[in-house]
Amino acid sequence: MPLESIVRATSNARRSFGCVLLLTLVGCGQVTPAPFSTNPREGASAKEVPTLARAQDAGDTWTYRGTFVQTQGKMQRFSLTQRVTSASGTFDGRPATTYRGDEDPSGNREPSLSYQAAVVQRKSAVTTGVDVARVASALETSDGVRERALYDPDNGTFDRLPEVPQARWTNGAALRETVVDRAAGSSASDVYRADGSYDESGVPVAGRIAIAQTHPDGNAVYQWPFDGAGVNSTLTVLPPQTSITMYISDAAALPFPTTIRVRIHDWYPRNPPSLASDELIDQGVAAVPSDCGVAKRFSGDAVELVERRTRLDVIYGQRETTQRTTWNRARFGVVCMKISDVLKSYYDFTTLKFAGTPLSVTTTSETLGLQSMSGTDGATIVAAPLEARFDAWQASLHAEDVLAIYRSLRLASKHK
């Protein structure tokens, strides 16, 4: 079921919040992303699952090794081996490179995963060069987490050619994404706008649809049918003033519907809140850090690119800051990648606890260093998502949060 054929259908999915697509994904049993077609079709159905194309001509291959470390109270750490291949093809009628990756953890019970990414080079709107941009991606883990993404034209640029020291640029947040966690039985389809606000359709449990809308000023509404009630239950977040006010209404409560009000200190960094940012800078030539663990052949000097992203979610009560740094060498592509992430959670829907200071802090780091490379196209630039393990964790967390909000109403009657 081709990814490209849903590009034009996305406008319809945007209006319907992708409900039909979600129901289709929940029933799928694939483990490996399937190919996408190279020519979009008019009038494609929104039921089609976004996947990536198998390009025609083989290119380069890379092998990376590294570590994934995550701490939330206790620390977990495991080693990774990732194998990547590239192939030439087209996407939406223009030349593209498809990257296919497989990653295995070692010495632990973490799931393996596979991913694909479609990358294009397009004329830059602000320089005389070209932007290197990810336009579509897909990943799946062996324990049932799936993620699909389509990037809008103002998003996805991770390099600019020619590479100029101190060059800077930004990405908008516009993105269409679907996540599924088959183990949890929940899923979500999101349409993000450039400012980070979004519309979401979620399937917290089979047969139920939850709808969310967020706005740039911090106003948000999340509503869903609960326990067969004829009226949707709701979570409403008001724009911040001196505090943040939320209302949680359980339409199924007996003998009368229950509404609780939550008022907490305004924890947003600014008012009105900045929901998303994505800034990149070319730091110029620098030595590849020794802790990347790259093979001797790939050590030395490389172009260092730093990306800093922030995300604020007024419904789920999360603030996340991420730094992604890569070291690129012209003959080899990315020789090292590092991810550093801090996720602060202010709301806990499993206990209905809300605070103006973080209830939990999760720190995550991922490092991958190049061990071997072969092929004929040595100038190829390896695309995101080398950080597929990090992306899979985020997808799984989002699906779990959809389920947690749905279940939270069982506690509402205790908080009158």
User: Which run of H or E residues covers position 404?
Assistant: helix 388-408
Cβ count within 10 A of residue 51:
24
Asked if 411 and 347 touch (Cβ cutoff 8 Å), the reply is no
For position 257, what pLDDT does the model report? 76
Residue 186 dihedral angles phi and psi, to the nearest 5°: -125, 160
Side chain identity at residue 179, one-letter code: V
Determine how many CB atoms are found less than 10 A away from the CB of residue 342.
15
Rounded Cα–Cα distance for residues 108 and 368 (Å)? 18
User: Which pLDDT score, from 0 to 100, does residue 397 have?
Assistant: 95
Tokens of 188: 């979500």
What is the distance between the alpha carbons of residues 341 and 16, in angstroms, rounded to a whole number?
32
Please report which helix (H) or strand (E) contains residue 135, including its range. strand 130-141
Secondary element (H or E) of residue 408: helix 388-408
Q: What pLDDT is recorded for position 31?
A: 26
Residues 224/251, Cβ–Cβ less than 8 Å: no
DSSP sequence for 308-376: EEEEEETTTTEEEEEEEEEEEETTTEEEEEEEEEEEEE-EETTTTEE-SS-SEEEEEEEEEEEEEEESS
What torsion, rounded to 10 degrees, do the Cα atoms 371, 374, 377, 380 define? -20
Residue in this structure with the two tokens 């209830």, named with its chain if needed: 359
Distances (CA, A) of 178 to 70, 205, 301: 24, 16, 38
Q: Computed from CA positions of residues 143, 137, 23, 206, in that sequence, does the dihedral angle turn out positive or negative?
A: positive
> Is the CB of residue 208 less than 8 Å from the CB of residue 406?
yes
Contact 321, 365 (CB under 8 A): no
Q: Maximum CA pair distance of the chain?
A: 72
Nearest to 390 by CA among 340, 317, 349, 332: 340
Contact 129, 122 (CB under 8 A): no
**Which amino acid, 40?**
P
Which contacts qualify for 117-120: CB closer than 8 Å, 24 or more apart? 117/52, 117/383, 117/384, 117/385, 118/3, 118/36, 118/52, 118/53, 118/91, 119/381, 119/383, 120/91, 120/94, 120/95, 120/96
pLDDT in tens, the chain (416 residues): 333 332 233 333 333 322 222 222 222 222 233 333 333 222 222 222 233 333 334 578 999 999 999 999 899 999 999 999 998 888 888 889 999 999 999 876 889 999 999 999 988 877 788 999 999 999 999 999 999 999 999 999 999 988 899 999 999 999 999 999 998 889 999 999 999 999 999 999 888 889 999 999 999 999 987 666 667 888 999 999 889 999 988 877 767 778 889 999 999 998 889 999 999 999 999 999 999 999 999 999 999 999 999 999 999 999 999 999 999 998 888 999 999 999 999 999 988 899 999 999 999 999 999 999 987 655 567 877 799 999 999 999 999 999 998 888 666 655 54
Structure tokens at 383: 């695309």
Tell me whether strands 347-348 and 333-345 are parallel, antiparallel or unpaired.
Answer: unpaired
Nearest-angstrom CA–CA distance, 159 and 391: 19
* Run of H or E residues at 11: helix 10-16
Q: What are phi and psi of 38, to 5 degrees?
A: -100, 0
Place of tokens 């799946």: 140
